[in-house]
Amino acid sequence: MYAFPAVLTIDHEDNDAVLVSFPDLDNCFADGNDFADALEEAREALGNVLYWMEKDGQPIPEPSDIRTIEAHNDSIKTLVAVDMIEFRKAWDTRSVNRTVTLPAWLDEMAKKEQVNFSQALQQALKNKLGIDQSHTPQMV
């Protein structure tokens, strides 16, 4: 779980959109139509940036103390939190291709029975690894 300070600023020149910046993360920005929308977009942006920093092996900076962050005029400061375990899980449910080898007779029988190979392999792997089927997203 990470919580980074963010600065929310009303952009009067853009229909009062709310802009979000993260002082500790140079490449992390978001915006929204209102504060609630901007905060949800900020959480998503923060999760994406931290996820790719992890994947690229970049060190994640220590979040600043929010009391040291400055907010001017139409700006407010707040903390934006993201649960990286849940965020990683969401990213890692994307599908990947794997080449598998199986006997021709098994391939023919499975085709005849209209077996969904991807689904069958996923279920077999989950069973083999002892993963609870009810707590994992279904991927087909």
Average pLDDT of adjacent 10-residue blocks, the chain of 140 residues: 96 92 96 95 96 94 96 92 89 77 90 90 89 55
59 — phi, psi (to 5°)?
-70, 140
pLDDT of 134: 58
pLDDT of 102: 87
- Is there a contact between 8 and 19 (Cβ–Cβ < 8 Å)? yes
pTM for the full model? 0.67
Q: Is the Cα torsion angle 125, 54, 135, 98 positive or negative in sign?
A: negative
Q: Which residues touch 66 (CB under 8 Å, ≥6 apart)?
A: 5, 77, 78, 79
Q: How many residues does the chain have?
A: 140
